[in-house]
Chain A
Amino acid sequence: AQKVTQAQTEISVVEKEDVTLDCVYETRDTTYYLFWYKQPPSGELVFLIRRNSFDEQNEISGRYSWNFQKSTSSFNFTITASQVVDSAVYFCALSEVAGANNLFFGTGTRLTVIP
């Protein structure tokens, strides 16, 4: 069975600090996909990134970076030089097949960036 654990319920940082959101997953499948979504107060889930289980390369997109480590079943998300607009709930999710199959979500991490 699939499981996604986000142990950090809430994190507060001061603007311009770096912050890392942790995600640990469990799956018996050898082929799977990992995702991060952002949910601002408006409620709409915003897609940030998708990684497949065969690609362990770290990825950087502007101030965002992701560290995928299969050995520890982790897919951590780092925001560099945080901004107030980064304040939101962030969800890590797992899918056995990208897109078309259902997503298993963690319970989310609420990030508050203090100006």
Chain B
Amino acid sequence: DAGVTQSPTHLIKTRGQQVTLRCSPKSGHDTVSWYQQALGQGPQFIFQYYEEEERQRGNFPDRFSGHQFPNYSSELNVNALLLGDSALYLCASSSQIYEQYFGPGTRLTVT
């Protein structure tokens, strides 16, 4: 039973560019959440997708957007990258009210 998978593992981008990160949820899970974890900090909630719609959003600007596909996989898009966007981006999946399971993350470096 595959867990949560994310791609790519690492990414280096330049300020102003756009990036897309991908996540496949654990089998049987229909809800995907995205978190940003800056170095030395706890993860911060970006948004959550359920039934292909954004259900909840944290305190992140509109430059952060997402999408969920019919197979429950999800993408996180970040436009106009800033140096401060450098972080580990974690995807978590869950099935309704149960606990979230996290993927290995994508480490984004913005130069």
Interface residues in chain A, defined as those with a beta carbon under 8 Å from any beta carbon in chain B: 4, 35, 37, 42-47, 50, 91, 93, 97-108
Contacts and interface: CB of A to CB of B under 8 A. Distances in A.
Tell which of A35, A44, A46 has the most Cβ of chain B within 10 Å.
A44
A105 B44 CA distance: 7
Tell which of A37, A43, A104, A106 has the most Cβ of chain B within 10 Å.
A43
Contacts, number: 67
Contact of A43 (B50, B55, B92, B105): B105
B50 A45 contact: no
A35 B98 CA distance: 12
Interface of B: 31, 33, 35, 40-45, 48, 50, 55-56, 58, 88, 90, 92, 94-105, 107
19 contacts: A4-B42, A42-B104, A43-B107, A45-B92, A45-B102, A46-B102, A98-B98, A99-B98, A100-B55, A100-B94, A100-B97, A101-B48, A101-B56, A102-B56, A103-B33, A103-B43, A103-B100, A105-B42, A105-B43
B29 to A, nearest CB: 9
- Binding site secondary structure of chain A: loop
A91 B97 CA distance: 20
B88 A97 contact: no
Tell which of B33, B100, B103 has the most Cβ of chain A within 10 Å.
B100
Nearest to A97: B97
Contacts of B98: 98-99
Contacts of B35: 103
Tell which of A42, A46, A101, A104 has the most Cβ of chain B within 10 Å.
A101
Nearest to A43: B105
